[in-house]
């Protein structure tokens, strides 16, 4: 039913994504869907942050994050499943929405914190922004604190 499924991965909380990946795997196995895993590195595009890093350090950090995503994928995915793994830099919600549009993703599965309105206001919510702006279906998996 869904041809392309995206699970955005926050590498600070990898275990949080496991339930989302299990559901995505069902789409892969039962319906032959393509699985995409995307990690967004916030910060480097911010000129204040970028001023503290040389281009070499920056490239090294992005490579390390890409390796971390690959290691994570190898750990949680069955050997026969080969997801598309991508690392981008920028604002997580905006980058995820752009990725959905450009790759014509049909379903996004995201774990979401169960935050109070005030926490959401103070911390921002990637999942809420993606759900609001994505043109495709979005499945939010709520996790209690």
Q: Which residues bind ligand ADP (CB under 6 A)?
A: 8-10, 16-17, 38-40, 42, 92, 110-113, 115, 125-128
Nearer to ligand ADP, 79 or 118 (CB): 118
Provide the minimum distance between the beta carbon of 82 and ligand ADP in the complex, in angstroms, as a whole number. 20
Q: What are phi and psi of 40, to 5 degrees?
A: -110, 130
Nearer to ligand ADP, 19 or 79 (CB): 19
Q: What are phi and psi of 51, to 5 degrees?
A: -60, -20
Nearer to ligand ADP, 8 or 28 (CB): 8
Provide the minimum distance between the beta carbon of 113 and ligand ADP in the complex, in angstroms, as a whole number. 4
> Max Cα separation, the chain?
47
Nearer to ligand ADP, 42 or 70 (CB): 42
96 CA to centre of own chain: 7
Per-residue CA distances from 124 to 26, 28, 78 (Å): 30, 31, 33
Angle, vertex CA 63, rays to CA 130 and CA 70, nearest 5: 65
Sign, CA dihedral 124-126-128-132, equals: positive
d(CA 73, CA 97): 22
Nearer to ligand ADP, 61 or 128 (CB): 128
Provide the minimum distance between the beta carbon of 69 and ligand ADP in the complex, in angstroms, as a whole number. 10
């Amino acid at each position: 039913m869904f041809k392309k499924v995206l699970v955005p991965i926050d590498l600070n909380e990898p275990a949080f994504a496991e339930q989302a990946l299990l559901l995505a795997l069902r789409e892969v196995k039962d319906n032959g869907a393509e699985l995409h895993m995307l990690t967004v590195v916030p910060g480097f595009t911010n000129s204040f942050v970028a001023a503290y890093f040389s281009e070499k350090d920056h490239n090294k950090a992005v490579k390390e994050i890409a390796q971390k995503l690959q290691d994570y994928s190898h750990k949680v995915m069955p050997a026969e499943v080969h997801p598309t793994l991508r690392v981008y830099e920028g604002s997580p919600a905006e980058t995820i929405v752009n990725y959905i549009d450009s790759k014509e993703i049909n379903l996004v599965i995201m774990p979401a914190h169960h935050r109070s309105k005030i926490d959401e206001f103070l911390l921002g919510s990637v999942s809420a922004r993606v759900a609001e702006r994505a043109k495709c279906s979005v499945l939010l998996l709520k996790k209690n604190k």
